[in-house]
Amino acid sequence: MISSRIKDPNLAAQIDEGQLTWYRYITPITEQYCRQIASQNYRGKRLAYWGHITMQNTILMMLVLKQTGVEIVMGACNVDSTNDIAAAYAVSKGITVFGWQGMSQLDYQKNLALIRSFEADYLCDTGGEMIVAYLDKTPPVKGALEATTSGINLLKKYKLPFPVFDWNRIPSKNHLENRYHVGDSIWPVFSYITGMGLFGKRVFVIGYGPVGKGIAERARNLGAIVSVFDVNSIRLLEASHHGCEMVTLEEGLDRSQIIVTATGVEGVLSKEQLYQVRRGAILFNAGHSNREIDIDWLYDQPHQKMKAHIEQFTIGGKYLFLLAKGSLLNLATGTDSPGVDLFDHYTAVMLLGITWMFDGMPDNILPGLKMYPAHLEKKIAKLSIDIYSKGLRPSKNNVLRKF
C-alpha cells in the first residue's frame, strides 16, 4: 500500500470525540445510513475518493465504509480545503490519505498520480480529474460517482469505459444545495475572514446558475446591492426578476466592491478582466475550480499577505484583494464550514451511491455518463422528511456509536 501524504500524522491526537458525536447528531440522515451499513461485509471492495477532506461529512462516511472492510484511498480535490486534523484521524484509522491544506499545484498533481496507482474498483470523484486519470486503467473500474458541474463538463470530452453516475444534477442537489446551501455557507465565511458585513455593499456575482442564484439571493437578504453577469440571457432575465441588476462583465468589475465567481468554468477572470477591477475590490471564488480567477498570472504580480486567507495584489496603479487563494471560499479555510447539517443529504447521496455500486449494479447499465439512481434519491428524501418533519432522531446509543 502506498504511504499517506498529509501534513502531520500527530494531528490525529487533537480529535475531539465529543465533537464527532455532535456531528453525528446534527447529520441524522447520514448517521441512519451509517448504522445500517456498518453491519455489511464489503471486504475485497476497493474505493478511491477524490474530494474535500472534512471531518463533519466525508471522514465519518469513510470510517463506516472502512469498518465494513473496504480498502480506501482518499485524495484532496482542492489545494486548500483539507482539514488536516481530519486527514490525520483518517490515517490513524487505516485509510490512506493524500492531501493537506495549502498544497502546491505540483503536490496536487503528484497526489493525483499516486491515487491513480491504486487499483480501485469504484470511484467517488469531485471535479472529474480522478475519473479521467483512471480512463486507461485495465481492467476498467466498475463504476464512479461525480458531484460537480466542472467535473461533468470535463467528462463530456472523453469516451468513458465505465458508467459514471452524475449526482450534480439530481433535483435535491441542484435545487437545494447548489441553489441555497452554498450561498448560506459562503457569506458567514466571508464575514469571518474579512470582518465585514454586506449592508450597502455592491456585490457582483459572475454566473447565475443554481450556485450563483443562491449566493446572489443570500447577499441581497444580508443587505447587499447585487448585480449579475451571465453569458446566458435567460439567466440574466431571471436575475432581474429576483431583484438583481443585469450588467456587462466590464460594468460589474468596474462598479463592485465584492466580486464572486460562480461559473464552474476556468479562466473567467483573466489578466484583461483583472485590470478592469475596481480599486480595492475583494475577489473570491465559489465554484469548484480554483482557476476561475487566473491566479497563476495574479501571483506573478506584487502581492502581500494581509491576514489569514486575505492577500493584496498590486496591478498597475491600483490594488485588489483575493480571498483563500481563489479556492472555493466556503471550504478553503480548512476548518469547519457553517451549515454542516445542510450537507447531510449529500453525504448520504454519496454513501448510498457507493454501497449501491458495491451491492451490484444492474447488468443493463452501459458505460458513459448516467444520472444518479432516482430511487436512491427518493429514499433519502423520504428519510429526510421523516426525520425533520416527524422529529425522528437516532437513539442515544446509536448517536454515541464509535469507530
Domains of the chain: 9-172+335-399 (3.40.50.1480), 177-326 (3.40.50.720)
The cell 476497493 sits on which residue?
A: 46
pLDDT tier at 337 (50, 70, 90 boundaries)? low
In this predicted structure, what is the pLDDT of residue 399? 43
Q: Which residues contact 337 (CB under 8 A, 6 or more apart)?
A: 54, 185, 189, 330, 331
Section 109-127 average pLDDT: 96
**Amino acid identity for residue 133 in this structure:** A
Pairing of strands 303-307, 96-98: unpaired
Element (H, E) at 49: strand 46-51
Pairing of strands 225-229, 368-371: unpaired
Number of residues that this document lists for the chain: 403
DSSP 328: B
Distance CA 205, CA 326 (A): 15
Q: How many Å from the N-terminal Cα to the C-terminal Cα in the chain?
A: 22
pLDDT in tens, 135-190: 999 989 999 999 998 899 999 999 999 999 999 888 887 777 777 778 888 999 99
In this predicted structure, what is the pLDDT of residue 394? 52
pLDDT in tens, 291-310: 899 999 999 999 999 999 99
The per-residue b/e assignment along 72-96, b for 16 or more CB within 10 angstroms, e otherwise, is bbbbbbbbbbbbbbbbbbbbeeebb
The cell 445510513 sits on which residue?
A: 33
Averaged pLDDT of the chain: 91
Cβ proximity of 220 and 241 under 8 Å: no
Distance CA 134, CA 143 (A): 11
SS3 260: strand
pLDDT in tens, 341-400: 878 888 999 999 999 999 999 989 999 999 999 999 999 999 988 887 776 555 444 444
The cell 489578466 sits on which residue?
A: 271
